[in-house]
Every structure is written in structure tokens, then in C-alpha cells.
Structure 1
Amino acid sequence: MKNTKKALLTFFIIIMLFSNIKGSTCSIDFNRDVVVSESNKNGKSLRPYKIIWYHAYPPQKDMQLVLKKVNEYLTKKINATLEMRLIPEADYDSKLKSAISSGEKFDICFTSVWMNSYTSNALRGAFIELDPLLEKYGKGTLDVLPKELLNGARVKDKLYTLPANKDLAHQWGISLNKKYVDKYGFDVSCIKKIEDIEPMLKVIKEKEKGVVPYLIYPYSCHAFSMPMERIEEQVPSGLYLDNRTRYKIVSAMEIPEFKKYLSLMHKWYKAGYILKDAASLKNISNFENTGNWFSGSASYNPLVQSRLKEKLGYDVAIIPINSPFITKKDTVFFMHAVSSTSQDPERAVMFLELLNTDKYLFNLIAYGIEEIHYQKTGEYTLKLLDNSYHIEPFSFGNMKLSYQLSSYSKSISKEIENFNASPIISPLLEFNFDPEPVKNEIEKITEVTEEFEGPLFVGAVDPEIYLPKIIQKYKSAGLDKVMAQQQKQLDAWLNSWQDKKRIKK
């Protein structure tokens, strides 16, 4: 009886969330008018202020040139200037940990479920609660951000971060360098699962010296190994996306799909299809920039191939595998918070409001200066001119303000609408876990994850020998206790959700 009730509950949650998501996030609105809050209209009455913004992105050559234009505009809007500190992803987490622990004064920072943890920082007081500030200075932001994004980012029912309003649904796929697909006439229509590319990897290994057959690194490898969502990124526990266990949390290290994936990766590693030092790689941009790779894992949606072509300068094919889905991680992957050390948090929120409502400012920060960094090819389309400035528009603010790349198909809005029509919706989408009761165990588990998961994911070790050892290390670090606490909170959330529905009736 209990399982039947939970199954019905799952169904109604999915219906509720899907109907809301479909109505608010399916299409890209390239014609939205600029929204300016009342507070922004009074910019001249505000004292001058410099906003310091940390973002996890590689430094850009023309950053200062673009900031000059940005600051001319911001001075008129909110009497502020912007200092943008771009930090490469590989260094960002340690840099922000240092900045926060030292009490460094800054205003806004990128935060996420996987980097500069938004939950931990919110609970320790590093970020300011945004609800009262948004009510006063961010009405436009509250109007445009779907409630699924805002609710998914809450910690103990309070909002400490603003998620980027980006495309949510995606599905895992195989990325292929078209140069080698065309050269060897590979039939990509036969690719239905990851194992199907193995004959192609063999050809590349034998005939293309210096080209990596399967280019992966630890963080990129979760795609095919776990058809599930973790509750905490560094803790190997969670739920299957299809919720087949009816809200019973399972160990990600012990599911059969993971063991199968590890065996395949170890086989490919021994065959030389994967880099010998893959476990120690922080990113793969050097290989992508030179084109010395054949295949890898990728997150697919209808925009991805065009973005990659613009970014890399050559064609990449992505073959979708499995079904589109929306996870909680999709809602909390790219976010920004206001630091508790900000000297003017009101002004910081005014700036965030502009990033979510002001088309000119958003595209200036994303693409740079027209005729220098990009050229308009239509009212809302552009072509990038060089690589001296570009910040991905899905990484901040409201992507629905973004110009389209001219390489997108003319039917891209319809393609996105169709793609988003029937995703699998994670059962964890609006569940917020409070790690405080088991924070010491999570800290120990994180150490295990950072030390041991990399070699396992890239196939560098034999899973028959290594996997039982890492499972035991997790248990010794307190995984069972953490999973019990996660299950306790998840059950309480389910009961609370059901009670709310009864009250409404």
C-alpha cells in the first residue's frame, strides 16, 4: 500500500512539474522587451559603487575593452561599475574557498551544486538571503525565472542564489569529430548505445597516431555510468531518474549499470582508447582546440552542435542516447549568489536584475562589442568574429535574452519546444537536502570521492579489484549514515508535499 501511494505521488509530481516547466521554459523568446525595475530608474540618486563579480570562466583577452562599454551603461542605469574576475574552472573552487574563508570583500560569485557549493555556503552564512531584496529590487527577475528554478535553489525554504534561466532538458550523447567520421565513412546511424562506437575507436587507434580515440576525464564520465541523480554531488547516493525504487535511495556505486560501465571503460583503457593520464585531467580544452580527438561523452540538446562549431571552429556531431531528462542539477548547475561581505547588496541585486531583464547588457557581457567581437546577421542573430571575447550565455542571467548564433537552424525554437515536450523529470527536482546533520561524514566522503573516483571512472583500474575497496572506503567514511539521513529528509519532504495537497483540496 505504501509503495502504491508513493507511485501515485510520483505521477502527480511529474504531471505538476511538467505542466509548469512546459509553460515557462520551452521556447526561446528573442523578442522580450527590456524590463527595468523602479529602483534602476533612479540610478542617478545612488552613490557610485563598484560591483565585484567572480565567475568560473577562462579570462578573456578583450575583457577590459568590453567592461568599458559595460560600465558606461551601468553608470547610467544604477550608477555602478563592474569589475569582473574570471577564474578558470580548474582553479575556481579553491580560489573562492580562499576568498570566502578569508572574508574577502566582493559582491557576486558563481556557485553551483558541483563547484563553490551553494548549499554549504548558504548554511555557513557566506551568502545573503535574496528573497527580501528581490521583492524590492528584482521584480522583473521574479517574473521571468520559472518557479522550478527558484524552488530548486532554496535552502531551508530560503533563496540564497539566482539560477541561470537556461535550457533545462538535455540527454546524454556521444560526441564525434566529424573530420574523422567523414574520412573513414563511419555510419553513425548505427549508434544506439555507447558500446556501438568500439569498432570506430579501433580504427582511429590503428590509423590516426596522436588522436585520442575516446576523450574523457573524471567529471565528464558520469554521463553513461549512472542513469540517476545524486542528492549531493560528492556523495555516491541518489535515485534513478525513472524512480524505479519508489523513493528508496540507493548506493550509486552498487547499481548494475555502474559496474557494466566500469568494465567497458577498463577494457577501452587497456586497449589504449583512453588517455593514460585521463584520471588527472581537469579539462580537455587543449585537445578540443587542436581537434586531436575522435569521440567523447556530451550533453545534448538542439543548440549544442552549433555552439560547439562556433566555439571550436570545426564540425562536431552529437548522437543522442537514451531519453531527454530534467534533473535538479540542471536547475542548480549555473547560479550566482550575493556575498555576505558585499558593501552594497542592494546594488548587487539591481545588477542581477539587469542580467535577467536587460537585453542590451546581457548580450554585451555574453558576446562583447558589435563589429569587433560579433556581427549582426539579423535583428536577433549574430556571427562571432574572433575568439578575443565570449562568455557562454547559459552560464549567467537569463539566456532567453540572448541573440541566436547564425549557425542555428531557422526552426530552432520549434526544435527546442519539441525536445522539451516530454522529458523524464527527476523525482528530486524540488527536494532540498540539508547536509548539516551529517556534514562531518560528507566531508570525509568528499575526500574519498576526490581521491578515488577519477581512476575508476576513466577505466584506469580494474573494477573487479578496485570497486569493492572504494565501496568499503565510503562505508568507513559514513556513507550509510548519510544515506539514512537523506532518506529521512526525503520521506519527510514527501509527507509534507502530500499534506499540502490535502490542505489545498
Structure 2
Amino acid sequence: MLRGTRLSKTGIIAILLILVFSLVLGACGNNDNASSPSASPTSPASANPSEGAKAPEELPEVKLTWYFPGSFPQPEQDKVFAEVNKIVKQKINATIDFKPIAGADYEQKMKVVTASGEPYDLAFTSNWLNNYTQNVAKGAYLPLDDLLKLYAPKSYAAIPSNFWDATRVNGQIYGYINYQISARTPEIAIPKALAEKYGFDINSVGGKLSADTMNLLEPYFDAVKKDNPQKYVSAPLFGIQDMFGFENIAGINVPGAVNYNDDTLTVMNQFESDEFKKFVAALRDWNAKGYMNSKERIAKKTDEWTDAKAGKWMMSIGGAYKPGGDVLSSVLGGEAYVTAPASVPHLTTGGIIATMHAISRTSKNPERATMLLELLNTDVELYNLLNFGIKDDHFKLNDDGLMVAGPNQQGYNPQAPWMFASNFLAYVQEGMPKTVWEDTINLNEAAEPSKLLGFSFDAEPVKAEIGKTSAVYDEYYRGIELGVTSEEKYNEFLKKMKTAGSDLIVAEMQKQIDAWKATK
């Protein structure tokens, strides 16, 4: 949830061999006027199929514009980005115009960028931020099938084919997967010092949280708040819905979900479900008991790392539980956390598409943008530089090849390795098991597969309704997750969702799932 993990050189080789072996066993030019993914862009293969085979000095120099979210700006980001560009220039004769955006502002910024038709090359996209299916429906992204085969063959082959299938809309790939933990269940994270002081064994609630059992956490909350009234619970709606027992189809802000245990694959509006209503009631109760510090937080769009670093979090529920996630000593100014899974992990389409990049349909250099994705996902030095800064300054490797804090760690520490590229290129952090990436792959493989795995929703027929319902969600979500939304106000939210077209969205999802199910 809070921290990506890191990998030694030996571990990298082993993981890549495992990935390729498992794959064997398991066996674009511009069109600025396009308004939907059914439009026919110029084929990248016919545009310049030889570019990927050229030496860097034979390629014309280009500048690529890249939008991404995170804890930005960082104090020394320009220094790090300059070093990144030295490598990118040497390897593919390109430089990057970095466009880092603070996480709370990224959604709105990308809506403006997309609506304006601004030329850019790469952007982070997912089912919870800069919504993937909505942007595909708008025609914002290029299909990547041919581009990946020509200009990113190594990283394309390293990711299982069923993962790529999860990204497909109308049979085409529009999102490049940042390969990492994909078996999803929210993570419960507690400052280790608080857990020890108040005798709270996080494993006592691990795997047991649901809309009906949130009261299991209250004895711990009561004890902490008595001595620390400034501390609060962070439980953002985008990070917790996996534990309700259903899978969102088009994103956490879009109506439409299927229960994991439902063989009929019947679509419901998750916001109208008993599970969601019970959880909203629990948040309301937590706020009444003083666990949420809602008056202080209501003015913010989302919870920020500044509060975490200031020691204001007594618990965080959200993100994705992963092996090694309890080694968080450098995330919050040296404060270590203990973690546990909230519920049972499931391998879902949503988990796979939770961290991706897309190439804009306005890109003037889609081939080189794909080559950059290949480089980011295969070059160990580049990946760790971008994620963790300059070696021997922002981080160091100890005698065992494990990552430790550098003398200037807080000069660059964006804490978003899940966002930049494949997490399997990261150095293993000291204190994590050296087998952390093997463990992560095993967790992906052992997770219970969703009955909807591989289904991709085409949002085009209801893109207007999705836009309207997303706007309603944006209006109400912060009050809901802070527990300040009354039952009456929540019913108003549901009514506005219906007016905006939630029933039409659910019906379209059901239609597409039924057609998909008939082919299985």
C-alpha cells in the first residue's frame, strides 16, 4: 500500500526467467479527429516498422511528454530527471518532458488535457485514477497491439497473456501494464510503535474485514484516540472496495459491480448494495466517535503524505496488500508499520489494470513512446533511478545488494514505484525477504481468479452517463469516506446517480457480460 519493494540483481534475472518460462508454459500513428476507439488510426507497423531495429544514433531525436501522478513536486526532482534523460538519450535518442502532478490534482488535470486535445505522449491510467475505460471510450488512447510487438517485445513477452487480455477493449490493448501485485485485497497498515504500545495484533483481524466486521478495529481506535486525539483513520473509498466481496467493472467511481461468489454474474449498482451501505454507516459511526478528524480533513480532496509523515495516521486501510509491505521504515520519516490483508485476495481484471500507462492518440511519436516503455520496464538502473533517486545519494546498496537509505533520501522520495513501470525491477529493500518478487508472483498465481477475469467493458455506448455519474461521485465521495454524509444525504447521492444514468450503465454492463459469458 505505502511502499514498493526492491530487487537485487540476482533476483531480477531469476524473476525474468520465471516470467518467460511461465509464459511459454501458458502457451499508430496520429488521428487527432478520432472520437472513439473504433476509429482507424494509422498503423504503426506501416508507419515506421524499422525504427525499433535502428541504433540510437540512427534515430531522429525526439522529446516525449509524460504525465504521471504522485507525491510531487520533490525537492530534487529536476536533478533526478536530468540523470534519467541522460540514459534515455543514450538508449533511444529521446528526452522526456516530465509532467509530474500532485496525486490530488491529477484526475482534473488529465480531464483538461484530454478535452483540449493537447499533444502529449504518455500518461498514467487505471481504474481508479484517470479512468482507463472512460478514456478509451473517448478515443483518447492509441491501440497498442502492433506497437508492443514491434517496439516493446521483451517487456510484452514477460507479462502473462491473460494479463494483456484483461486490458483489451473490443479486442484491442490500450493500456501498458505496470506489472506488479495484481491479486487484490486492501491492506491494513498500523504504525508498529502504536501496535506494540496498545497490544494490538494486526494478524488478529487479517483476512477478516468486511462491511459487517469493521467493529473489530474499534478497541484499538479507542485506545489510541484516548492518548492521541490528533490521530485518525485513513480509509479512502478508492482503496477499500475490494473487501466488500464484489468486483467493480469500470472503476471505483462508476456504478456497476458483480459479487465474487455470483455464478450468474449479475450486475448491481455497488453504491446501492447492502455491503456498501453498511460500510458507509460504519464510517458515519467512526466519525461520531472521533476516529476520523473530519473537520480538519474535509477541505482536502484526499489524504496527503504530509499527514502520514506528521504521524497523524493511526491506521490506513487501502491500497493492495503485498509481500514485504511491512518494511516501511523510510516511507513515513522513519516510522515502521505492520501490515495484514483485509480480506481474501482475488485476481481480477480491475487488479491488473490498476496501474498502467497509455499512449495518447495525439502523440506525434507513438513508436518512440513505446520504446520508452520498453526501456523503463527492462532497464534496472533507469527504473531505480526514476523511482528512488541517485545511487549513493538518495539511496545506497549494502554489501548484500539490498537497498538502504542514502544520506539524502528525503531529497527525492516520491513513493510511487507501482506507478512508473514493472515493480519487479526494483532493488529489494533491507529487511524484506530476498524472495519478495517470487512471493509476489506466487500470490498472483495462488489468488482466487475472478469469474470475470478477462472481461473488459466497452464504455462507448454509455460514455455520457458514465461522465455524469462520475461527476456525482466526485461531488459526494469525500464526505462519504470521512463519515460526514448523513443517511439522508447518502440517499440523495443515490438519487442523483439514477438521474445521471446509473441504471443504463448497469444494463449495458449486463448486456456485455452476458454476450461475453456466452462465448466461454
Q: What TM bracket, shorter-length normalisation?
A: 0.7 to 0.9
User: What is the aligned partner in structure 2 of residue 215 from structure 1?
Assistant: 234
CA distance in structure 2 between the partners assigned to 1:230 and 1:223 by the alignment? 8
Structure 1 position 247, deviation (Å): 0.7
Structure 1 position 425, deviation (Å): 1.9
The one-letter code of the counterpart of 2:504 is K
Structure 1 position 350, deviation (Å): 1.1
More helix per residue:
1
1:39 corresponds to which of 40, 46, 52: 52
User: What is the aligned partner in structure 2 of residue 473 from structure 1?
Assistant: 496
Task: Tell whether 2:283 aligns with 1:269.
Answer: no
**8 Å Cα contact 1:30/1:380 also seen in 2:** no
User: What is the aligned partner in structure 1 of residue 110 from structure 2?
Assistant: 96
User: What is the aligned partner in structure 2 of residue 285 from structure 1?
Assistant: 305
**8 Å Cα contact 1:172/1:322 also seen in 2:** yes
Superposed, which structure 2 residues align to 1:88-487 within 5 Å? 88-191=102-205, 192-193=208-209, 194-212=214-232, 214-222=233-241, 224=243, 226-233=244-251, 234-242=253-261, 244=262, 246-277=264-295, 278=297, 280-281=299-300, 282-298=302-318, 299-306=320-327, 308-312=328-332, 313-378=334-399, 380-385=401-406, 386-391=409-414, 392-413=416-437, 415-416=439-440, 419-463=443-487, 465-487=488-510
Q: Deviations over 1:200-229 (max 9, x none)?
A: 2112222223222x23344345354x2211
Q: Deviations over 1:298-355 (max 9, x none)?
A: 332212221x322112111123232122222211111111122222221111111111
State the secondary structure of the residue aligned to 2:411. Answer: coil
2:513 corresponds to which of 480, 490, 497: 490
Q: Deviations over 1:473-505 (max 9, x none)?
A: 222222222211110111001112x2xxxxxxx
Structure 1 position 421, deviation (Å): 4.8
Q: Deviations over 1:252-291 (max 9, x none)?
A: 1333322322222221111111122445531232221111
The one-letter code of the counterpart of 2:182 is L
**8 Å Cα contact 2:155/2:378 also seen in 1:** yes
- From the superposition, tell whether residues 303 and 102 of structure 1 become closer, same or farther in structure 2 (CA, over 3 Å): same
Say how many residue pairs are matched. 465
- From the superposition, tell whether residues 262 and 97 of structure 1 become closer, same or farther in structure 2 (CA, over 3 Å): closer
CA distance in structure 2 between the partners assigned to 1:111 and 1:135 by the alignment? 21
Q: Give the % identical residues.
A: 30
**8 Å Cα contact 1:40/1:77 also seen in 2:** no
Q: Once superposed, what is the RMSD of the aligned Cα atoms?
A: 2.6
CA distance in structure 1 between the partners assigned to 2:335 and 2:53 by the alignment? 42
CA distance in structure 2 between the partners assigned to 1:369 and 1:355 by the alignment? 16
CA distance in structure 2 between the partners assigned to 1:289 and 1:460 by the alignment? 25
What are structure 2's unaligned runs of at least 5 residues? 1-9, 21-49
Superposed, which structure 2 residues align to 1:33-72 within 5 Å? 39=52, 42-57=55-70, 58-72=72-86
- From the superposition, tell whether residues 492 and 33 of structure 1 become closer, same or farther in structure 2 (CA, over 3 Å): closer
**8 Å Cα contact 1:216/1:274 also seen in 2:** no
What are structure 1's unaligned runs of at least 5 residues? 1-26, 499-505
Structure 1 position 239, deviation (Å): 0.6
The one-letter code of the counterpart of 2:508 is Q
State the secondary structure of the residue aligned to 1:486. Answer: helix
CA distance in structure 1 between the partners assigned to 2:97 and 2:215 by the alignment? 47
- From the superposition, tell whether residues 71 and 495 of structure 1 become closer, same or farther in structure 2 (CA, over 3 Å): same
CA distance in structure 1 between the partners assigned to 2:137 and 2:228 by the alignment? 51
Structure 1 position 380, deviation (Å): 4.6
CA distance in structure 2 between the partners assigned to 1:263 and 1:33 by the alignment? 46
User: What is the aligned partner in structure 2 of residue 10 from structure 1?
Assistant: none
User: What is the aligned partner in structure 2 of residue 18 from structure 1?
Assistant: none
Structure 1 position 245, deviation (Å): 5.2
User: Which moved further from structure 2: 146-155 or 158-167?
Assistant: 146-155
CA distance in structure 2 between the partners assigned to 1:415 and 1:352 by the alignment? 25
Q: Deviations over 1:224-246 (max 9, x none)?
A: 4x22111122223211123x252
CA distance in structure 1 between the partners assigned to 2:172 and 2:201 by the alignment? 51
**8 Å Cα contact 1:71/1:81 also seen in 2:** yes
Task: Tell whether 2:87 aligns with 1:83.
Answer: no
